[in-house]
Amino acid sequence: MQAIEVSHLTKRFGNLTALDDVSFSVSGGETFGFLGPNGAGKTTTIRILTGISTPTGGTASIFGKDIIRDTIASRKEMGIVHETSNVYDDLTAWQNLMFTAELYAVGKQMREKRAAELLDLFGLLERRDDRVRGFSKGMKRRLTLAMGLVNNPRLLFLDEPTSGLDVQSNLIIRDVIRDLNAQGVTVFLTTHNIEEANLACDRVAIINRGRIAAIDSPERLKKTIQSVQSVEVAFDSASPRRMDDLRQLPGVSEVRKEGDKFRLFTEDPSLVIDAVTAYAKAENARILSLSTFGPSLEDVFIRLTGLGIRTRGVTTVD
Amino acid sequence: MTEPAGKHGQLYAELFAAWAIAKKDIRIYYLKPNIIVSGAMFPLFMFLAFAVGRPAEPAVMIPGLVAITILFSASSIEPVSIPIERRVRTFDRLVSAPVSLHAVVLGESLSGFLYSIGIALVPLAAGLVIFRTPIISVFPLVFGILLTAFCFATMGTLFAAYPTESPGDIMSMLNMVRLPLIFISGVFIPVESVPAVGQAVVWLSPLTYGNDLIQASYHGHTHFNPLIDMAMLCIFILIFQVAANRLYKKFNE
């Protein structure tokens, strides 16, 4: 049985079509990334999958239960971690967890045991009786995640879980997601952090303007645009003409400056490496580092969503 | 991990969640010194506004004062707390929980209901202790307070369904309804003496029936039959509950 099954989902707000015939499925135990630019339809999809909003057309089910007809039973299977750390500032960490558990009708003994485990897991046990108002952003985020897990869900919706967090909170949350996945929990991850999706997800869906642009594993998606490769080079000296010079080299389709390095996009890295080496010699500049890169998931995302034109002259992907 | 499903299991879950929401609201919004003090002071200011300069005995004002206190205290906090919860997105937790919107509306109303009963004890106690106002019958008083408090708490939750993050938007709408109710519900002017225009709408005000019950406990007679008063208050509660459920559903879209 699929954890999530979405079929021909459509959502219209007046004349605006927020979701247009969206179909996908997520297997049990899978970590599924849902990527898309702002306004692409990510939030609308999550609101429908969590039973908050009703679709104009199509169906969605959670572990075989129709989210429209059987909303409450479907919701019992899921934990939801909203994009905002929506904790109650005037309650303690413990009271926040107890309240969430009570909403899910978790029995007293079980919710107390579970809350203690989660506070320990997220490094908040010592602060359990402190009001959340005094917590840092990272601590609030960790508590939000703990609240999403208090009912021991089979499916976890994670909306931007690590956005803008400190390193410690980021690491804790990533470890927990990995552990959940190992325990067979299905994770539906919405993120702007493409590298996070690349590292965490078994499969990724890219949604754009209400339509699914692509669904596949990160590696397979990258292979669809092998033409977007790049050579990264750093020189020991700066030159005001360098960007223009590099842009003129054979095989280079685009140049971007990234810190003290230049990234040259190409279909033929070998040709560009030769050209860069020759250029350095001619300019009497020393090459500090030279690396080649395959296409990243970010490249796929940008290509499919049309967010940026960095791949002039390469074959487009449907 | 959650309680077993089934009709009774789900009913239990709904009531349990409603009570959890009420407890949460009481902890966060009601048990604050400023809310308690302003609630307790409200009847005093209302009393001064309506009693000073009038020939009526202060004791005569007590039943109406109890009714008005319930109206305002029961319906005031949810229209503030719900828009705030929308703003900080904690309201999303409630509408995505595995319970119906009826449970959410009930939970939000329960806290206003309990707060209102606590505040109504202030004019009630003042009537007994300071003005020696005798209570002839306890039965209509208890039912009058309970049903009126629950009715106006649900009304406050209904108004809070309006999809705004600014409490002021809701309070202004709510006051457009609450303030006229004082004058058309027989609180300080008997229903029989309300002008003809008001007579036509007296029936539409839940405060009319709540006030009628509370007046009965002090004066021994009602304008309507007490059973009609209670039935009408129950009908208003039902209407507000169903309307609130529909509006929250509609505005969640």
pLDDT in tens, A133-151: 999 998 999 999 999 999 9
Query: Are A52 and B13 an interchain contact pair (Cβ–Cβ within 8 Å)?
Result: no
Q: Of A162, A193, A217, which residue sits at a domain end?
A: A217
Residue A157 lies in a domain: yes
A168 and A257 assigned to the same domain: no
Residue A57 lies in a domain: yes
Residue of chain B whose Cα is closest to the Cα of A81: B93
Instruction: Please state, in angstroms and rounded to a whole number, the distance separating the CA atoms of residues A243 and A264.
Output: 10
Q: What is the pLDDT of residue B3?
A: 46
What pLDDT digit, counting tens, does each position of B59-107 carry?
Answer: 678 888 899 999 999 999 999 999 999 999 999 999 999 999 999 999 9
Q: What is the pLDDT of residue A88?
A: 97
- Preferred mutation among A92, A103, A108, A133 to probe B, highest tally of B CBs within 10 A: A103
Q: Is B5 on the interface with A (CB under 8 A)?
A: yes
Burial code (b: 16+ CB inside 10 Å, e: under 16) for B165-194 equals: eebeebbeebeeebeebbebbbbbeebeeb
A126 and A169 assigned to the same domain: yes
- Mean per-residue pLDDT over chain A, rounded: 88
**Higher confidence at residue A234 or residue A36?**
A234
Cβ-based neighbours of B38, under 8 Å, separated by 6 or more: none
Residue B108's domain comprises 7-252
Query: Are A86 and B12 an interchain contact pair (Cβ–Cβ within 8 Å)?
Result: no
pLDDT at residue A72 above 50? yes
B91 vs chain A: nearest CA distance in angstroms?
8
What pLDDT digit, counting tens, does each position of A280-315 carry?
Answer: 999 989 999 999 887 777 777 777 776 654 443 333
Residue A255's domain comprises 229-293
Among candidates A75, A86, A87 on the partner chain, residue whose Cβ is nearest the Cβ of B97: A75
Q: Is A293 on the interface with B (CB under 8 A)?
A: no
A167 and A277 assigned to the same domain: no
**Higher confidence at residue A163 or residue A311?**
A163
A212 and A234 assigned to the same domain: no
Residue A238 lies in a domain: yes
Residue B21 lies in a domain: yes
A196 and A253 assigned to the same domain: no
Query: Are B2 and A105 an interchain contact pair (Cβ–Cβ within 8 Å)?
Result: yes
Residue B201 lies in a domain: yes
Structural domain count, chain A: 2
Q: What is the pLDDT of residue A317?
A: 31
B22 vs chain A: nearest CA distance in angstroms?
10
Q: What is the pLDDT of residue B29?
A: 93
CATH code where residue A271 lies: 3.30.70.100
Structural domain count, chain B: 1
Residues 36-65 of A with CB under 8 A from B: 50-54
Residues with pLDDT less than 50, chain B:
1-5
Q: How much is the ipTM here?
A: 0.89
Answer for the pair A140, A86: CB distance below 8 angstroms, yes or no.
no
A43 and A149 assigned to the same domain: yes
Q: What is the pLDDT of residue A307?
A: 65
Residue B211 lies in a domain: yes
A130 and A52 assigned to the same domain: yes
pLDDT at residue A265 above 70? yes
pLDDT at residue A34 above 70? yes
Lowest mean pLDDT among A98-102, A163-167, A260-264, B107-111: A163-167
Among candidates A13, A72, A82 on the partner chain, residue whose Cβ is nearest the Cβ of B92: A82
Residue A126 lies in a domain: yes
**Higher confidence at residue A317 or residue A287?**
A287
Q: List the beta bridge partners of residue A16.
A: A13
Q: Of A165, A187, A217, which residue sits at a domain end?
A: A217
Residue B2 lies in a domain: no
Q: What is the pLDDT of residue B7?
A: 57
Which residues from B are below 8 Å from A86, CB to CB? 88-90, 92-93
Query: Are B92 and A105 an interchain contact pair (Cβ–Cβ within 8 Å)?
Result: no
